[in-house]
Amino acid sequence: MDVRSQIALIFHLDKCIGCHTCSVACKNIWTDRKGTEYMWWNNVETKPGTGYPTRWEDQENYKGGWELKGGKLRLKSTGRGRIIPNIFHNPSMPSMDDYYEPWTYRYEDLFTAPEGDDQPIARAVSMVTGEPIDVEAGPNWDDDLGGSPIYAENDPNLEELTPEVKQMMFEIERMAFFYLPRICNHCLNPSCVASCPSGAMYKRGEDGVVLLNQERCRAWRSCVSACPYKKTYYNWSTGKSEKCILCFPRLESGQAPACFHSCVGRIRYLGNILYDADKIVECASRPDNELVDAQRELILDPNDPEVIAAARKNGISDGIIDSAQNSPAYRFAKEWKLALPLHVEFRTFPMLFYVPPLMPVIANQDSGSVRNETEDLFADIEKARVPIKYLARLFSAGNEGKVRYALRKQLAVRLWRRHKTVGDISAEQAERALLEAECSPEEAEAIYQLTALASMEDRVVVPPAQREMAIEALEDPLEFKQSTGFGFLTGPARGA
Amino acid sequence: MLVEHSERGEAMGKTTGRWTLALAAGLLLGGTAAAQGASDEAYEYFARNCVSCHTIGGGPLAGPDLAGLLDRRDRDWLSAFLLDPAGVIDSGDVYAQALLRDARGVYMPTPPGITADLADKLLTVIAVEDGLDKSRFAGLQLSDRPLTPVDIALGRQLFNGTTAFASGSPACFACHTVEGAAGFGGGRLGLDLTTVYARMEGRKALGAWLGAPPSPVMAPLFQDAPLDADEILALTAYLKHTSESGVEQASSGVLAFLLTGLGLAAVLLVLFDVAWKDRYRSTRRTLVEGRRSPRLASRAVEGMEGTP
């Protein structure tokens, strides 16, 4: 057992209101420099929709992530041999148009325009060329189903639905959508790191944050095509690629990353987990429908004495183990099985998990009142306006059971709390719901607490960074002791 | 010894050792006259710089035969001419003008690094050699036998480098071309040699040139690795053949080269396009334009749906 610590993230989609505050917080801190205008380390997509960059989920097209070939894992986009003929012209590189050409407006024209019969306008100009452009796309072009049906209909996750179901989804009165905020997943098995010919990318040892060394990056852009989530971006100004750094300078001082801190809906949870690095390859090679379980298998119980002993042996400090025991990520992803990885079939083992959203239901109108159709407590889930099949394609590589489990448990907690607070649901009904959802009343209370009432300290449990220890592995902190500080331009007569 | 060397002509500039021998023989035969002022340096200079255009008693090449030179003009005039041939010709000197006409308007180049002292020594060399029965600078004695198709074939091989020169010097093909040269033609660094035989007016002058090429590029290459008489004869035969049968290629060869290059580049691009046919093209624009125009719709669907 090779125990390591990794920061894991949970996004509770049932709480996301799609306000983009996270994106703006991130942009203001990290990507408002020249060359980074088009980068959205954090973006919020509307689902169904094609996302950003357009149809990024279609790996037949973008060739991101891993594939199983002859029982062995290999990168879809490149490899030791395949990189040779392709290194100077990567054949699976998205173009600027698939993101968008960043633009601003010539605001000064509003003030400097000569007097005339027409209102002055501020023309859109490209932030790359400085020339006037016709804006054709943006990072949220299909926000709230805007731009549909071209965009939403082309969501790759809709492919397996029947034409009738698809049509139903887009009928105006049934129309349903939800938001999918995305940042770098800081994967356990990152294909971007594996693909880099320069060795510029790495997972930070102490917390698994995936970083890109700006000194070593040689602009091959293999990471851009290899990342199936398209979360590394090429800076056209500096000639280096960049990506989400999970605000590690904030983490190291105990603060939540900017997007977490600013989240209005409080949908974001952060905490570290302990995992077994020895099993990554084996787990990543399982068939698609077992991948969710395989990923959960990797995550170890931080309260298991055996795991704690192995972690200590690996140099993981007690502070980090303590933090893992209080981690909300561990509870959502492993203990409660509520949170699911996005597109686990890319086999990168993303460390960002999503609690799937409970969607509005299809209901019957009966003489002015809305009524559920059946007695079945969980009928609502099956009748949701967004089919489970669609959610399963997003969150469990098509394994509907995993999504259904998470939705039923959420619904059971709602029924339980309704019984407690409103009382229109009988104790018997509420208990039966919990039983069917494999959830104890204690667990239901805990889920309710962490979902609805949790404070910032409960939601974001930043493991102690212990940079002073992490840095010792690389350099001697006492190297410059007694050699810097006060000095002389002209030496003193004695005691120099 | 001396006779043999002068006959073969190729001994010029070969090795210092051989020169010492030749000089010793010259001193023995030429008596005291040779000892007066003629020197190793001047002999060597003459052999390197003069013999491709002049002989002493061997008849005119590009320049006149130097036999009896000192009887024709006085030493001062000759000295002045050697120091600055173009200057003397352009000064309107009648004799120099006549020489220019004989040379069909080609000016004698200023001998490289000439000094008054060297000019004097060279004139002494000419005087001494002229006094001999047979000067070693009588020129290359190429056989006068009729040139056969066998000579032409050998000459072609030597030109194209399919047969190497005995001395190991580079084939003509490396820098020169002629009409009908193999492949894309020869090199384009040197001149087109198709009509060189006619330009040089025959086998004697061409042979003399080939015996000791004086041009700045060729001289250092052939100085220490000269061609032998049989090779020179064969090359002369081949160049005579091309001169009689062909015309200079002008630009058609260059054009063919360019067109072949463009053709190959096009073929390569097609091959690359096939090899990388699954490469990423465009997503968003195809999607949107596919919706707007039915012509692109099929392409969009094909590109977007992926494999089932």
Question: What DSSP assignment string belongs to A18-48?
Answer: ---HHHHHHHHHHS-STT-TT--SSEEEEES
pLDDT in tens, B116-164: 888 888 888 888 888 887 777 776 667 778 888 888 899 988 988 888 9
- How many contacts (CB atoms, under 8 Å) link A and B? 54
Q: Which residues, listed in sequence order, are joined to residue A275 by a DSSP beta bridge?
A: A4, A299
pLDDT in tens, A412-451: 999 999 999 988 888 998 999 999 999 999 999 999 999 9
- The whole-angstrom separation of Cα A94 and Cα A241 is 14
pLDDT at A173 (0 to 100):
64
CB A292 within 8 A of CB A399: yes
pLDDT at B3 (0 to 100):
40
Q: Do B306 and A156 touch (CB under 8 A)?
A: yes
pLDDT in tens, A458-481: 999 999 987 777 777 778 878 878
Residue of A93, A97, A160, A227 to mutate, interface with B, max B Cβ within 10 Å: A97
Model confidence at A10, pLDDT cuts 50, 70, 90, reads very high
Model confidence at B307, pLDDT cuts 50, 70, 90, reads very low
Q: Do B306 and A136 touch (CB under 8 A)?
A: no
In a domain, A184, yes or no: yes
Shortest CA gap B257–chain A (Å): 28
Please give the single-letter amino acid code of residue A153.
Answer: E
Q: Do A58 and B303 touch (CB under 8 A)?
A: no
Q: Which residue has the higher pLDDT, A292 or A136?
A: A292
Question: Helices B116-131 and B16-35, interaxial angle, to 10°?
Answer: 80
pLDDT at B183 (0 to 100):
62
CB A275 within 8 A of CB A6: yes
Shortest CA gap A91–chain B (Å): 5
CA angle centred on A189, ends A185 and A194, rounded to 5°: 105
Measured between its terminal Cα atoms, the distance across chain B in Å is 93
Model confidence at A359, pLDDT cuts 50, 70, 90, reads confident
What CATH topology corresponds to B2-131? Cytochrome Bc1 Complex; Chain D, domain 2 (1.10.760)
Surface-to-core class of residue A296, CB atoms within 10 Å of its CB (0-12 exposed, 13-18 middle, 19+ buried): middle
Query: Which contiguous run of DSSP H or E holds residue A202?
Result: strand A201-203
Q: Judge whether residue A70 has pLDDT over 80.
A: yes
Q: Which of A482-486, B28-32, B299-303 has the highest mean pLDDT?
A: A482-486
pLDDT in tens, B183-203: 667 787 888 888 888 887 777
- The whole-angstrom separation of Cα B81 and Cα B102 is 16
Which residue shows structure tokens 């039923």? A408
Instruction: Give chain A positions within 8 Å (CB) of B303.
Output: 61
Residues 38-77 on B with a CB inside 8 Å of A are: none
Q: Do A98 and B282 touch (CB under 8 A)?
A: yes
Q: Which residue has the higher pLDDT, A301 or A175?
A: A301
Q: How many domains does chain A have?
A: 1
Give Cβ neighbours of residue B134 (< 8 Å, ≥ 6 apart): B3, B6, B57
Instruction: Give chain A positions within 8 Å (CB) of B305.
Output: 159
In a domain, A485, yes or no: no
A137 reaches B (C-beta below 8 A): yes
- The whole-angstrom separation of Cα A69 and Cα B256 is 49
Q: Do B280 and A93 touch (CB under 8 A)?
A: yes
Taking residues B238-266, report their average pLDDT: 80
Model confidence at B249, pLDDT cuts 50, 70, 90, reads low
Tokens of B258: 């360019």
Q: Which residues, listed in sequence order, are joined to residue A69 by a DSSP beta bridge?
A: A72
Instruction: Give chain A positions within 8 Å (CB) of B284.
Output: 50, 53-55, 97-98, 137
CATH number of B149-245: 1.10.760.10
Whether a cis peptide bond, with omega within 30° of 0, leads into A149 is yes
B92 reaches A (C-beta below 8 A): no
Q: Do B291 and A150 touch (CB under 8 A)?
A: yes
Q: Do B303 and A93 touch (CB under 8 A)?
A: no
Nearest to A16 by CA among A356, A353, A244: A356
Taking residues A315-333, report their average pLDDT: 95
Shortest CA gap B287–chain A (Å): 7
Taking residues A189-193, report their average pLDDT: 97
Q: Do B283 and A61 touch (CB under 8 A)?
A: yes
Model confidence at A65, pLDDT cuts 50, 70, 90, reads very high
Beta strand A352-355 pairing with A3-12: parallel
Tokens of B256: 């063919």
Q: Do B304 and A53 touch (CB under 8 A)?
A: no
Which of B276, B283, B307 lies nearest to residue A91, judging by beta carbons? B276
Measured between its terminal Cα atoms, the distance across chain A in Å is 55
pTM of the entire predicted model: 0.71
Look up the domain containing A75 and give its range.
Answer: 1-98+117-474
Which of A61, A93, A98 lies nearest to residue B306, judging by beta carbons? A61
Model confidence at A245, pLDDT cuts 50, 70, 90, reads very high
Q: Do B283 and A91 touch (CB under 8 A)?
A: no
Tokens of B267: 């073929």
B104 reaches A (C-beta below 8 A): no
**For a pLDDT cut of 90, what percent of chain A falls above it?**
71
Average model confidence (pLDDT) across chain B: 76
Instruction: Give chain B positions within 8 Å (CB) of A398.
Output: none
Beta strand A210-212 pairing with A201-203: antiparallel
Helices (H), A374-493: 379-382, 388-395, 400-421, 427-436, 441-448, 456-459, 467-470
Q: Judge whether residue B237 has pLDDT over 50.
A: yes
Which of B280, B287, B291 lies nearest to residue A94, judging by beta carbons? B280
Nearest to A158 by CA among A324, A391, A327, A353: A391
Instruction: Give chain B positions within 8 Å (CB) of A58.
Output: 283, 304, 306
Shortest CA gap B267–chain A (Å): 18
Q: Is the complex ipTM higher than 0.90?
A: no
CA angle centred on B25, ends B24 and B28, rounded to 5°: 90
Q: Judge whether residue B6 has pLDDT over 50.
A: no
Give Cβ neighbours of residue A146 (< 8 Å, ≥ 6 apart): none
Tokens of B127: 């005087």
Surface-to-core class of residue A476, CB atoms within 10 Å of its CB (0-12 exposed, 13-18 middle, 19+ buried): exposed
Question: Nearest-CA residue of chain A relative to B284?
Answer: A98
pLDDT in tens, B253-290: 677 788 999 999 999 999 999 988 888 888 888 888 87
Question: How many Cα atoms within 13 Å fall on the side-chain side of residue A77?
Answer: 33
Model confidence at B252, pLDDT cuts 50, 70, 90, reads low
Instruction: Give chain A positions within 8 Å (CB) of B279.
Output: 91-92
Q: Which residue has the higher pLDDT, A181 or B161?
A: A181
pLDDT in tens, B174-186: 888 887 665 667 7
Taking residues A291-315, report their average pLDDT: 96
B284 reaches A (C-beta below 8 A): yes
Fold match between domain B2-131 and domain B149-245 = yes
Instruction: Give chain A positions within 8 Å (CB) of B278.
Output: 91
**For a pLDDT cut of 90, what percent of chain B falls above it?**
6
Candidate from A5-14, A113-122, B21-30 with smallest mean pLDDT: B21-30
pLDDT at B181 (0 to 100):
66
Cα dihedral B19, B22, B23, B26, rounded to 10, equals -160
Candidate from A177-186, A407-416, B245-254, B268-277 with smallest mean pLDDT: B245-254
Model confidence at A89, pLDDT cuts 50, 70, 90, reads confident
Give residue limits of the domains in chain B: 2-131, 149-245, 260-305
Q: Which of A244-248, B38-42, B276-280 has the highest mean pLDDT?
A: A244-248
pLDDT at A367 (0 to 100):
56
Question: Nearest-CA residue of chain B relative to A147?
Answer: B288
Tokens of A124: 């859109």
- The whole-angstrom separation of Cα A245 and Cα A186 is 9
Taking residues B284-298, report their average pLDDT: 67
B289 reaches A (C-beta below 8 A): no
Q: Judge whether residue A452 has pLDDT over 70.
A: yes
pLDDT in tens, B85-118: 888 888 888 888 888 888 777 788 888 888 888 8
- The whole-angstrom separation of Cα A188 and Cα A302 is 18
